[in-house]
A = this chain, B = another copy of it.
Amino acid sequence: MKDAVRLPHVVIIGGGFGGLQAAKALAHAPVQVTLLDRRNHHVFTPLLYQVATAGLSPGDIASPIRWILRKQANVAVQLAEVQGIDAGRRVVRLTSGPGDAEVPYDHLIVATGATHAYFGHDEWEHVAPGLKTLEDALRIRRRVLLAFERAERETDPAAQRRLLTFVVVGAGPTGVELAGALAEISRHALQSDFRAIAPETARIILIEAGSSVLSAYPDDLRAFARRALEQLGVSVWTGSPVTSIGPGRLQVGAETIDAGTILWAAGIAASPLGASLGAPIDRAGRVIVNPDLSVPGAPNVYVVGDLATVTGPNGRPLPGVIQVALQQAECAAKNILHVLKNETTATFVYDDLGNMATIGRNSAVCDLGRIRLKGFVAWLAWVFLHVYKLIGFRNRLSVMTQWAFSYVSYQRSVRLITNDSAIDSE
C-alpha cells in the first residue's frame, strides 16, 4: 500500500458504551479504526442485575462487538487484551496472542472503564463479588440460587438463617436494583418451589455508608426509593460503613451480620490502563484529562467514560454514567477529526439528560432535571427506555417476551446454576 493513500489509524480500546460510540462517530470519517476488547461482546450494563437475579439470559443483554459494527467498513474489531500504552512510541501493547503483539496508532481513544473498589480491602472481593461483567452476573446468580438450595438441605436453624440472609453493600442504582430484585425472587418467584424452607422469609439487607440511598438523586426521590424498598421487604441500613467482611459474616460498626451471600456495589476503581499513560490521576485511578478530553503529556491520546474524570458545572466530578461516556466519545471522535484538519479542538460540555433507577417490579425513580417521576410511571419510562436502547432487534424482542412473561407469572425463568461443579462451594 502506498503511503499516500494510507489513512490515519485510530485505535479504540474498549467495546463498552464509550468505545462503541467513538467507533460509530468515526463511521464516515477518512480514518481506519481498530477497536480492541478482551471480550467479544458488548454488555448492556444497566440490565446486568437482571442476569444476576435470573430474570434474563446473558444473550439477552449482550451482542458480539463485531456484529454490532459489521456494517461499518472502516472498523476492524480485534479480541485482544491490552497490557499497556506506550505514548512515546504511539503503540498499544497486547498481552499475547498470535500475530502482532503491538498495535501502532496515530490517534488513540481509551475507554476501558472502571470496576468496584474495595477501599483497600481487596481480600473482600472473593467473598463479596461486584457486578460489572456477564461473568460477575453469572457468579452472583449461582451464589444466590445455591444459597436457597443449601438452605433447603440444611437442618441447623442458625445455619439455615445465615443461608437465607442476603446483604448488598452500597445503595447506588446497582445496589438498589439488586436488593429490589432479590426481594422479588424470594417473595414471589421461588414461593412454591421449596419444601423445607419458606423463601419469602429470606432477609435482604441493603447497607450504605452514606446517609441515604441513591445519593445522586433529589430528596423526594430518595425518600420514595427507600420506602419502596422497605415495602418490598428490604431492610435499608444507611449511615452504616462496613468494617470487615469474611466468609458468611460481615461487621457493620459494632454489629455482626451472619449472611451467606454478600454482594458488593460500592466504590470506583478505574482501569489500571489509565496509570500507564503517565498523566495525572485522581484517587480512584481516573485520568484527569484536558478540557478537550486529551491526555496531558500524551499526544493524540483521549480518555472517555468511567476512566476519565472531568469536573462538572457544580464543581464536582461528572458521575460514571452511560450518558457521560457516550457524549465524551462523540467529543473525542470529533476532536480527532479537528486535529486531522488542523482545527482547534472543542471543549467537552456535558448535557445532563437525567438518571433513572428501578426498585423491583412496577416501581422506579426518574430524575430528568425539571421533571421527576416515581412509582409505576417511572417504571414504564424505565422499561421503555431500556428496551429501546438495547442493541439489536432480537435482544429487544427477547427481553420484551421475558419481561412480559415474568410480569404476568411473577416467575424468573433463567434460574440455572451452571458451573463445572454446581455443588462445590466457591
Interface residues of chain A, those whose CB is within 8 Å of chain B, are 38-41, 57-60, 62-64, 66-67, 70-71, 76-81, 95-100, 134-135, 138, 145-146, 149-150, 152-156, 159, 192-196, 392-395, 397-398, 401-402, 405, 409, 411, 413-420, 422-423
Contact of A78 among B40, B145, B153, B159 (CB under 8 A): B153
User: CA–CA, A394 to B146, complex, Å?
Assistant: 23
CB–CB A98/B398 < 8 A: no
Determine if A99 and B154 form an interchain contact, defined as CB atoms under 8 angstroms apart: yes
Query: Which residue of chain B is the closest to A37 with respect to CB atoms?
Result: B422
State how many angstroms separate the Cβ of A294 from the closest Cβ of chain B: 28
Nearest B residue (CB) for A422: B39
- Interchain CB contact (< 8 A) of A80 among B145, B159, B423: B423
6 shortest interchain CB distances as A-B pairs: A59-B414, A57-B57, A57-B59, A79-B149, A66-B193, A40-B417
Q: How far is the CA of A415 from the CA of B414 in the complex (A)?
A: 18
Q: Assuming A67-B193, A78-B152, is B415 touching A40 (CB within 8 A)?
A: yes
Contact A97 B38 (CB under 8 A): no
CB distance from A13 to the nearest CB of B (A): 14
Pairwise interchain contact A416-B66, C-beta atoms closer than 8 A = no
Closest to A97 in B: B153
Assembly CA distance A409 to B145 (angstroms) = 35
Provide the residues of chain B in CB contact with A420, threshold 8 Å: 135
Residues A97 and B150 in contact in the complex (CB < 8 Å), given A398-B398, A413-B59, A423-B81: yes
User: A83 → chain B, closest Cβ, in Å?
Assistant: 12
- Is B57 in contact with A422, judged by CB distance below 8 angstroms? no
**A155, A392, A395, A416 — which one has the most chain B CB atoms within 10 A of its CB?**
A416
This chain's copy number in the assembly: 2
Q: CA–CA, A145 to B66, complex, Å?
A: 12
A394 pairs with B411, CB closer than 8 A:
yes
- A76–B194 alpha-carbon span in the complex (Å): 8
26 contacts between A and B (CB under 8 A): A38-B422, A39-B417, A40-B149, A41-B417, A58-B418, A59-B414, A64-B416, A66-B194, A76-B196, A77-B193, A78-B152, A78-B153, A79-B422, A80-B153, A96-B423, A98-B150, A98-B153, A98-B154, A135-B419, A392-B413, A393-B405, A394-B411, A394-B413, A397-B405, A398-B398, A401-B401
Which of B70, B155, B394 is within 8 Å of A99, CB to CB?
B155
Task: Enumerate chain B residues within 8 angstroms of A79, measured Cβ to Cβ.
Answer: 146, 149, 152-153, 417, 422-423
Q: How far is the CB of A406 from chain B (nearest CB, A)?
A: 8
The CA-CA distance from A66 to B196 in the complex, in Å, is 13
C-alpha spacing A417/B66, complex, angstroms: 12
Q: How far apart sit A196 and B98, CA to CA, in the bound complex (Å)? A: 14
Task: Specify which chain B residues have a CB less than 8 angstroms from the CB of A145 in the assembled complex.
Answer: 40
A197 to chain B, nearest CB (A): 11
**CA separation between A150 and B98, bound complex, in Å?**
7
CA–CA, A79 and B118, complex, Å:
33
* Residues of chain B with a CB closer than 8 A to A193's CB: 64, 66-67, 70, 77
Q: Which residues of B contact A159 (CB under 8 A)?
A: 98
| Whole-angstrom CA separation of A152 from B77 in the bound complex | 9
Chain B residues with CB under 8 Å of A413's CB are: 59, 63, 392, 394-395
Nearest Cβ on chain B to A269's Cβ, whole angstroms: 18
A252 to B332, CA, bound (A): 55
The winner among A58, A98, A154, A156 for most chain B CB atoms within 10 A is A98
